[in-house]
Amino acid sequence: MLFEVCLQSVDDAIAAQAGGAQRVELCAALVEGGITPSLGTIRACKEAVEIDIMVMIRPRGGDFDYSEQEFAVMLEDIKVCREIGVAGVVFGLLNRNGEVARTRVQKLVEAAGELSVTFHRAFDVSLNPFAAMETLIELGVDRILTSGQAGTVPEGKEMLRQIVKKADGRIGILPGCGITPENVAELVAYTGVEEFHATAFGTLISAMEHQNPDVYMGIPGLPEYERQVTTASEVKRFMDAVS
């Protein structure tokens, strides 16, 4: 059973490898669902760990209907990922009618070349998951990250089971969102998948001695002096649960 850890820093990647994960999805701004990490972060992670690194290719948060300028940025980011030599890239694009943006996805797959390609949870807001899956198979996408068109995998497990059955080994199905060490064994057994995707966070309290809780650098209301980081112990809890 392969565990892909969703994370957002070099330290996170090192912790994921130490805990026994076999692959990571490297993002920035997970509070927005994940966007493309910095070039420096990608390079540093490639140098720091030996496990596979999948890089999120997403220029902004929000929907998956991108402007021409945003699409050009995605192509350039994939080019950089190939030069660095990561294992793969992760992206998702939809037309305004909810169908897979076939032409653009094809261009990104071609740009990825030998890199592995995951179509992310844009799939979960597509008009028809089975039609979307057939399109992605035709375009040569390697796997789909999905919660079964529901808010979480536990809520979407019935649809996920159907998707896995329809896929019939023609494309990888990677369940993600809402998977925990407590439910992972039941979910992978029920859906019949061979890999899963989750965060493995613990809370890190800031070491800052001077703090000003009245000032926000990000979204008002979110804690400024604590953050979620990947821990080797939490990764190991997942691995033990599915061993």
Average pLDDT, 10 consecutive residues per value, the chain (243 residues): 97 98 97 96 98 98 98 98 98 98 98 98 98 98 98 98 98 98 98 98 95 87 90 98 94
Q: Which residue in 4, 6, 38 sits closest to 21, CA to CA?
A: 4
Q: Which residue in 147, 76, 65 sits closest to 100, CA to CA?
A: 65
Residue carrying the six token digits 């998707």: 163
Domain limits of the chain?
2-242
pLDDT of residue 95: 98
What CATH architecture does domain 2-242 belong to? Alpha-Beta Barrel (3.20)
pLDDT of residue 132: 98
Q: Are 81 and 55 in contact (CB under 8 A)?
A: yes
Q: How far is 224 from 214, CA to CA, in rounded Å?
A: 10
**What is the side-by-side order of every strand in the sheet holding 23-26?**
172-175, 143-146, 116-119, 88-91, 52-56, 23-26, 2-7, 195-198
pLDDT of residue 212: 92
pLDDT of residue 217: 86
Record the pTM: 0.95
pLDDT of residue 3: 98
pLDDT of residue 60: 97
pLDDT of residue 161: 98
pLDDT of residue 27: 98
Query: If you count them, how many residues does the chain have?
Result: 243
